[in-house]
A and B are shown apart, each in its own frame.
Chain A
Amino acid sequence: MASSSAVTFDASAPWSLSPEVSLRDEAFGALAYHHGNRRLVFLKSRELVELVRRLGEFESADVAIGAVIAPGEHDRYVEALSLLVTSEILRGR
């Protein structure tokens, strides 16, 4: 629908779930729906869902990943969050 956001993801900056997004828990993780751009996105692990839900509590995405995700998986989750920024599920604070 809407064109991709031109916003790039900086993991050292603060991010949060967009207020336009609803999350619904599912066995595989969660569905995220953006009511504005009508995008439906699949969050494919429970860990990613928790990270996304709690992102707004931390001073940066890096710190959030450090607090919520097991060590050694940092880069993988930076990439996952980056995709969620592209689809506007996350937004900068």
Chain B
Amino acid sequence: MGADATLRDRFERGLAAPICLTWELTYACNLACTHCLSSSGRRDPDELTTAEAKSLIDEIAAMQIFYVNIGGGEPMIRRDFFELVEHAVGQKVGVKFSTNGTRIDAAAARRLAGIDYLDIQVSIDGADAATSDRIRGDGSYAQARRAMDNLKAADFGQFKISVVMTRESVEQLDEFEAMAKGYGAELRLTRLRPSGRGVQVWQELRPTAEQNRRLYQWLLGRPNVLTGDSFFHLSALGSPLEGLNLCGAGRVVCLIDPVGDVYACPFVIHEQFRAGNVRDAGFAQVWTNSELLRSLREPGSPGACGACGSYDACRGGCMAAKFFTGLELTDPDPECVFGHGETALAKKAPSSLPTTSPDHSRRIPVSISPR
């Protein structure tokens, strides 16, 4: 998916509907990953009902949104999970869902394999149990691998293995690639963002500048590795990476949370980026008329990045990464490849960090055991 400059300008002014709509189905999760960007754990009592969720799917279909990225929490915890997936694909709204794999036993894998227009990404955060479980909890890696084994045995086809790039996991790129190849799966790597609970671990887990440079080189040679466009801030290092290479928040990207709140992107679940709620007058109304989303489609000021010759390559980077590290939206990305973000961060008082809202983390630690 490549785009020329004029098309990118159009995208920055927003589209009739999102291309990449994420819908977190539930805040309930049986894991408690340290970097969870939606601070999930406990179900919210006000989550959309089955009927509300179905009418939202109908609206998504009417807006001709081609597919929806379903996440959570752990979406398979919702008892109506299959009912909702089948309601979506039945009207040709493709479903791409993200799961920790704990609920994909052999029977679930066979059921999933029988559904058209369905993509699955199973998350791990290391190529071995020790590395992954440090982030995702004891036993989680083994369960994710079991899910992958079950999907392969059920002949699901090409699923995705999804990994957030941390200081540790970024050293295992070749192992992830080999694992994906072994399953006939696609590899998907995404950026660690300081969102949700991630704000507490970002400083210690984020890849170093040198690791990011190696990651960029590794990705350049592998256009088939999926990234969800999340490393566009690294495109300032040279040739652009695959993707649109822009911040899509409110322009081509949007998030609906489990209670129907609409946020500009999946990484800014925070009151300041809440655009409305689908319960009021539907999602299209929010997408088209929200003042917040409309303001994100205004031509942005390059701000502090205006003096840098690479602004056109990285567009100043990720809005969420700036916001949750206490930077202004016109500041450089905190992981600016030229180090301008580090300079900006050093000038901020630690007390200026925004707090996460809402937070559905469980109050007691969890341990999981094989089912």
Contact with B along A5-38 (1 / 0, CB 8 A): 0000000000000000010111110010101001
- Say yes or no: B94 contacts A38, CB within 8 Å: yes
- Shortest C-beta distance, A39 to chain B (Å), equals 8
**Is A1 part of the contact surface with B, judged by Cβ < 8 Å?**
yes
- Residues on B with C-beta less than 8 A from A22 are 64, 66, 92
- Say yes or no: A1 contacts B92, CB within 8 Å: no
- Residues on A with C-beta less than 8 A from B19 are 31, 40
- Contacts A22-B64, A24-B16 given; indicate if A44 touches B7 (C-beta within 8 A): yes
- Say yes or no: B16 contacts A35, CB within 8 Å: no
- Say yes or no: B3 contacts A38, CB within 8 Å: no
Interface size range of chain B in the complex: 10 to 19
Q: Which of B1-24 contact A (CB under 8 A)?
A: 1, 3, 7, 10, 13, 15-17, 19
- Say yes or no: B66 contacts A33, CB within 8 Å: yes
**Is B190 part of the contact surface with A, judged by Cβ < 8 Å?**
no
User: In the bound complex, how far is the Cα of B16 from the Cα of A22, in angstroms?
Assistant: 15
**Is A42 part of the contact surface with B, judged by Cβ < 8 Å?**
yes
User: In the bound complex, how far is the Cα of B71 from the Cα of A6, in angstroms?
Assistant: 35
- Residues on A with C-beta less than 8 A from B119 are 38
Interface size range of chain A in the complex: 10 to 19
CB < 8 Å A-B pair total:
37
- Shortest C-beta distance, A42 to chain B (Å), equals 6
Which residue of A1, A27, A40 contacts B66 across the interface (Cβ within 8 Å)? A40
- Shortest C-beta distance, A84 to chain B (Å), equals 14
- Residues on B with C-beta less than 8 A from A44 are 7
- Residues on A with C-beta less than 8 A from B92 are 22, 35
- Say yes or no: B3 contacts A42, CB within 8 Å: yes
Which residues of B come within 8 Å of A, CB atoms?
1, 3, 7, 10, 13, 15-17, 19, 64, 66-67, 92, 94, 117, 119, 158, 186
User: Would you give 27 A-B contacts (Cβ < 8 Å), ordered by A?
Assistant: A1-B158, A22-B66, A22-B92, A24-B16, A24-B17, A24-B64, A25-B16, A26-B15, A26-B16, A27-B10, A27-B16, A28-B10, A31-B15, A31-B19, A31-B66, A33-B66, A33-B67, A35-B66, A35-B94, A35-B117, A38-B119, A39-B1, A40-B1, A40-B19, A40-B66, A42-B3, A42-B7
Which residues of A come within 8 Å of B, CB atoms?
1, 22, 24-28, 31, 33, 35, 38-40, 42, 44
Q: Across the A-B interface, give the 7 residue pairs with the lowest CB-CB distance, nearest first.
A: A33-B66, A24-B64, A28-B10, A35-B117, A26-B15, A26-B16, A40-B1
